[in-house]
Amino acid sequence: MQFDLFDADRNRIVGATTYEDFATRLRDSGCQRCALGKTRTHIVVDRGNPAAKVLVIGEGPGGEEDAQGKAFVGRAGKLLDSIMTAIGLDTNRDLLIANVVKCRPPENRAPRTEEARACLPFLQKQIALVAPRIVCLLGATALKHLDPDRPEFAMGDEAGKEIELAPYPRIPFMVLYHPAALLYNANLKPAMWEHVKALRRWLEQEGLHPNPRKAPESGRVPAAHA
């Protein structure tokens, strides 16, 4: 992790040597590296288990996340919980969930390039400290900001596959539809179910699934909270 000679606050946060210390420093930092700092309620670092081998990255906090200071606790987060439960994963035990930006964009809009760039050192530090075996990116926006030099792509072509990102050469990534997209377009649910089953197979092959002999609970994305 590179240091910025002119940004002592950033250096103090990314200089943490444990995840717990990093998370505490970031939450308490009062960060104003971009305009989102002026309108947020809480800096939202994560939700879940920092020792998990699966890191999930979304776009940014929404209203519930901003109010509670936890990632993915609104409608989309509850749907994500249900989806992962259906393939035998507990989001609070088996995953760590974070976002590209740590502060809520107004009106839940997508993060802007300058906002994502300002937060990138913190996300990179999360990835370095967690050392995940696989990273799941929720939606095209997350992929775009994690690999900004990636050529134009279609979600239908990238989702559900193990891919490589040039900036992170030793980590496998898998793109999934953002749960919020499923709330507004139920036609995406069959594809999402195939994608999360592919994630389960990958985890089983790598010996990382906590319940390798337990079959998925259903043959489709759960309807709860949708």
Residue 118 has pLDDT above 70, yes or no: yes
For residue 161, is pLDDT > 70?
Answer: yes
Residues 173-210 pLDDT 10s: 999 999 999 999 999 999 999 999 999 999 999 999 99
CATH number at residue 119: 3.40.470.10
How much is the pLDDT for 157? 85
Label residues 157-184 b or e (16+ Cβ within 10 Å = b): ebbbeebebeebeeebbbbbbbbbbbee
Asked if the structure places residue 219 within a domain, the reply is no
Phi then psi for 56, rounded to 5 degrees?
Answer: -110, 130
Residue 211 maps to a domain: no
The confidence score (pLDDT) of residue 4 equals: 54
19-62 pLDDT, tens digit per residue, is: 999 999 999 999 999 999 999 999 999 999 999 999 999 999 99
Band (pLDDT 50/70/90 cuts) for residue 109 is very high
Any domain includes 27: yes
The encoded tokens of residue 147 equal 């690999």
Give burial (CB, 10 Å; 0-12/13-18/19+) of 98: buried
User: Which residue range forms the structural domain that includes residue 65?
Assistant: 8-205
C-alpha torsion 42→43→46→47, nearest 10 = -10
DSSP-assigned letter for residue 29? S
Asked if the structure places residue 182 within a domain, the reply is yes
Report how many domains make up the chain: 1
Q: What predicted TM-score, i.e. pTM, was given to this entire model?
A: 0.92
pLDDT at 226: 40
Map tokens 């994608």 to a residue.
195
Q: First vs last Cα of the chain: how many Å apart?
A: 39
The mean predicted confidence, pLDDT, of the chain is: 92
> Residue 219: pLDDT band by 50, 70, 90 thresholds?
low
Average pLDDT over residues 126-155: 94
Please report the pLDDT score of residue 5 as a whole number: 44
35 in a domain, yes or no? yes
48 occurs within a structural domain: yes
